[in-house]
Amino acid sequence: MSFLRVASTIANRQCCTLAHQQTAVSQTLRPRDAGGIFGSNQNDSRKQLRPQGAEGHSARKLSHYQRELPSGHIPFSCPEGRSLFQEALRSGQMETYFYVAEQFQTQAEPTYCGLATLAMVLNALRVDPMRKWKGSWRWFTEENLGCGCISPKSVEQGMAMQVLASLADCNGAATEVMYAPSAIHNSKEAKEFADFFRAIVRETCSRGERQFLIASYSRGFLGQTGDGHFSPIGGYHEESDSVLIMDVARFKYPPHWAPLKDLASAMMLPDSETGKPRGFMRLSAHPKTHAQKISAPRKPLEVRYLPKAAGQWIAGSLLEKLAEDQRKLRNFHSWSMLALSRWLSAVEATSPGILGNIVVVDDMDLFMGIVQQIYSRSELFRTLCKSYAELQALGFEDSFPALRIHECKLEDCQSLSDAPQTCGELWILFLLLLPQHLRAAVSEHLAHPNLSSEICKMVRCPWALPMEALKETLHFALPAKQSCTRWAGDGYLAFGPQPTLGTTGIALVPQPAHLGQLRIC
């Protein structure tokens, strides 16, 4: 680094950290802010880990409208911060920044740092929430990330890293979680973890793929007010060994550059709620979202990958709409017309675009053959098809397509695409393949527990077993009730050179016996 660059750096840092010259005030209460609830025990190990220069920061006058960063942290927008950005960009270590910057947001509540970070990363990953946000738009926010017993209300007192990882997986991300070790600052183990973290940061920030890092760290260790906090990493500057923290608590601290080794040490402090060290996680799109784009061999029907949180929302929304419709007495001359009107009304209220992306036609020719087999063998299917046509003739639910496959000549059906909305028979078959609790909510005539399996057995071709598997997948995707998630006592998320992805997409290695179990709800 040249003499002029050193002089410029010193001058700019003095400009960006002017508040360090403020006089201290005594007995100032610390407000409950973006991390103050997450872990506030000031134990001896924290004092040992606190870096030089951090002492005395808590004695400064606290502001409730933005705060100055501690020494060594460089605001992103100041001249030195911009210079670091330009150099990191030229070195290829800012590839993930632009994806995150597109979705950058401020947390909506003081304790929503984890939810805001996760919503931002999921949107940057282009994960489809498969549930409505406002109007017909689908989008992740802090308010719609709930899954099972995890909800924004349940994390008002903060959340542990395990909970955030489980929430990310439930909403459709593949998650690798790496814990920091329980070590003292500047120890050999701490240095090894910092080297490991640095390697992951370099790899992730230099790749053009949409992969993102979320850090869970102690603000207090870095000399900032508050304690536990989540924020994404936006980039890496090699020469200064600094990372860009895209702080979601922008009402408090701006995005800033921080020394990587200090951030790594800030992860080693234990969370007071779990007793475990903090760490970081790497998120990418779930592998199943890529696998579904290429289907080999092609199948007549396919249930697309549906994140757990989306499935819970869809099932709950359908039940809610069906319960509302139950109170509206409709006079139809047959139970089948009433059942179909209730089903299509619930789909319309939930969104045909969302449900139409769950069960899709992969090969129209094969699907037509299956529909014709079911039609010839199932009186129930024929009855529903007849009622569907009668509803269409009455102009009811005209936003749904007409029947187009039964007794249709092949040359007349060539124009059919693989979208569910082009074929009325698919909506009827979708209804019959629903889990029992949803079918029963539509009509008591469809409540038999074996109805879906009986429909699948009518398919007499090589696709009979795949149809049964499709039905089971649909039953799993639209659960009858929300269940709490548990972290098993025989698995531990930790840092290591080659994390192994488990079936949930979360890296698992053997867990030390003293850590026990953690129930996240």
For residue range 349-360, what is the model confidence (pLDDT) as tens digits? 898 888 988 888
Same domain, 257 and 325: no
For residue 485, pLDDT beyond 50 = no
What is the per-residue pLDDT for 4? 41
User: Is-catalytic flag, 113?
Assistant: yes
For residue 46, pLDDT beyond 80 = no
What is the per-residue pLDDT for 359? 87
Same domain, 258 and 335: no
pTM here is 0.74
Residues 173 and 284: beta-carbon distance below 8 Å: yes
CA 127 from centroid of its chain's CA atoms: 8
Helical ranges in 206-359 per DSSP H: 260-266, 287-291, 308-326, 335-350, 352-355
Q: Which of 211, 190, 163 shows the shortest CA–CA distance to 260?
A: 190
Burial class of 199 by CB neighbour count within 10 A (0 to 12, 13 to 18, 19+): exposed
What is the count of structural domains for the chain? 2
Percent share of the chain, pLDDT over 70: 73
Say which DSSP state 362 is in.
S
Can you tell me the mean pLDDT for 213-232?
Answer: 94
Residue 462's pLDDT band, with cuts at 50, 70 and 90, is: confident
**How confident is the model over 181-203, as pLDDT tens digits?**
998 888 999 999 999 999 999 99
Q: Which of 185, 229, 237, 256 is catalytic?
A: 229
Q: Domain for residue 192, yes or no?
A: yes
For residue 39, pLDDT beyond 50 = no
What is the per-residue pLDDT for 393? 84
Token couple for 168: 């990310």
Q: Domain for residue 141, yes or no?
A: yes
Helical ranges in 332-442 per DSSP H: 335-350, 352-355, 364-377, 379-393, 424-433, 436-442
Residue 330's pLDDT band, with cuts at 50, 70 and 90, is: low
Q: Which residue did the predictor score with more confidence, 151 or 106?
A: 106
In angstroms, the CA 77 to CA 57 distance is 23
Classified as helix, coil or strand, 45 is helix
**Residue 103 φ/ψ region, left for φ over 0, alpha for ψ in the -120 to 50 degree band, beta for the rest:** alpha
Sign of the CA dihedral running 12, 15, 17, 22: positive
Final residue before a domain boundary, out of 477, 493, 510: 477
Percent share of the chain, pLDDT over 90: 49
For residue 73, pLDDT beyond 60 = yes
Residues 308 and 473: beta-carbon distance below 8 Å: no
Token couple for 470: 């499709």
Same domain, 356 and 438: yes
Classified as helix, coil or strand, 70 is coil
Can you tell me the mean pLDDT for 49-67?
Answer: 54
Residues 310 and 172: beta-carbon distance below 8 Å: yes
Same domain, 192 and 167: yes
Q: Domain for residue 70, yes or no?
A: yes
Say which DSSP state 134 is in.
B
Here the contacts of 139-147 (C-beta below 8 Å, separation 24 or greater) are 140/171, 141/108, 142/107, 142/108, 142/109, 142/112, 142/115, 142/116, 143/108, 144/313, 145/115, 145/118, 145/119, 145/171, 145/309, 146/309, 147/171, 147/308, 147/309, 147/312, 147/485
**How confident is the model over 138-177, as pLDDT tens digits?**
999 998 988 877 776 676 667 889 899 999 999 999 999 9
For residue 284, pLDDT beyond 90 = yes
For residue 426, pLDDT beyond 80 = yes
**Which residue's entry shows tokens 């529909």?**
371
Final residue before a domain boundary, out of 289, 321, 346: 289
Same domain, 267 and 322: no
Lowest mean pLDDT among 97-101, 153-157, 296-300, 482-486: 482-486
For residue 484, pLDDT beyond 80 = no
> C-alpha angle with apex 38: 34 to 39, nearest 5 degrees?
125
Residue 296's pLDDT band, with cuts at 50, 70 and 90, is: low
Q: Which residue did the predictor score with more confidence, 239 or 132?
A: 239
Can you tell me the mean pLDDT for 412-433?
Answer: 69
For residue 407, pLDDT beyond 80 = no
Classified as helix, coil or strand, 170 is helix
In angstroms, the CA 131 to CA 310 distance is 6
Final residue before a domain boundary, out of 289, 315, 349: 289
What residues pair up with 175 in beta bridges, in sequence order?
A: 283
Q: Domain for residue 24, yes or no?
A: no
Q: Domain for residue 517, yes or no?
A: no
Residues 325 and 345: beta-carbon distance below 8 Å: yes
Residues 113 and 252: beta-carbon distance below 8 Å: no
In angstroms, the CA 17 to CA 339 distance is 67
What residues pair up with 176 in beta bridges, in sequence order?
A: 282
In angstroms, the CA 219 to CA 229 distance is 7
What is the per-residue pLDDT for 186? 84
Token couple for 449: 């527990």
Classified as helix, coil or strand, 237 is strand
Q: Domain for residue 498, yes or no?
A: no
Residues 350 and 356: beta-carbon distance below 8 Å: no
CA 431 from centroid of its chain's CA atoms: 28
User: Is-catalytic flag, 247?
Assistant: yes
Residue 303's pLDDT band, with cuts at 50, 70 and 90, is: confident
Q: Domain for residue 217, yes or no?
A: yes
The continuous run of DSSP H or E covering 303 comes out as strand 301-303
Give the mean pLDDT of the chain.
Answer: 78
Lowest mean pLDDT among 214-218, 294-298, 338-342, 482-486: 482-486
Q: Domain for residue 443, yes or no?
A: yes
For residue 219, pLDDT beyond 60 = yes
Can you tell me the mean pLDDT for 41-65?
Answer: 46
Q: Which of 16, 113, 205, 423 is catalytic?
A: 113
Same domain, 229 and 304: no
User: How many alpha carbons lie under 13 Å from residue 162 in its C-beta half-sphere?
Assistant: 22
Classified as helix, coil or strand, 72 is coil
- In this structure, the number of other CB atoms found within 10 A of the CB of residue 489 comes to 12
Same domain, 93 and 221: yes
Say which DSSP state 461 is in.
S
Residues 241 and 249: beta-carbon distance below 8 Å: no
Residues 130 and 145: beta-carbon distance below 8 Å: no
The continuous run of DSSP H or E covering 434 comes out as none
Same domain, 280 and 346: no
Residue 417 lies in domain: 294-477
For residue 520, pLDDT beyond 50 = no
Q: Which of 247, 271, 325, 363 is catalytic?
A: 247
What is the per-residue pLDDT for 474? 92
Token couple for 216: 């869970």
Residues 290 and 509: beta-carbon distance below 8 Å: no
User: Is-catalytic flag, 333?
Assistant: no
Q: Which amino acid is at 482?
A: Q
Classified as helix, coil or strand, 20 is helix
What is the per-residue pLDDT for 47? 39
Same domain, 343 and 272: no
**Which residue's entry shows tokens 């004695």?**
59
Same domain, 245 and 339: no
For residue 250, pLDDT beyond 60 = yes
Here the contacts of 319-322 (C-beta below 8 Å, separation 24 or greater) are 319/437, 319/438, 319/441, 321/345, 321/346, 321/349, 321/350, 322/346, 322/438, 322/441, 322/442
Q: Which amino acid is at 19?
A: A
What is the per-residue pLDDT for 164? 92
Buried-exposed string 90-129: b where 16+ CB fall within 10 A, e elsewhere: eeebbbbbebbeebbeebeebbbbbbbbbbbbbbbbebbb
In angstroms, the CA 229 to CA 375 distance is 58
Same domain, 441 and 472: yes
Same domain, 436 and 380: yes
| CATH number of the domain bearing residue 40 | 3.90.70.30
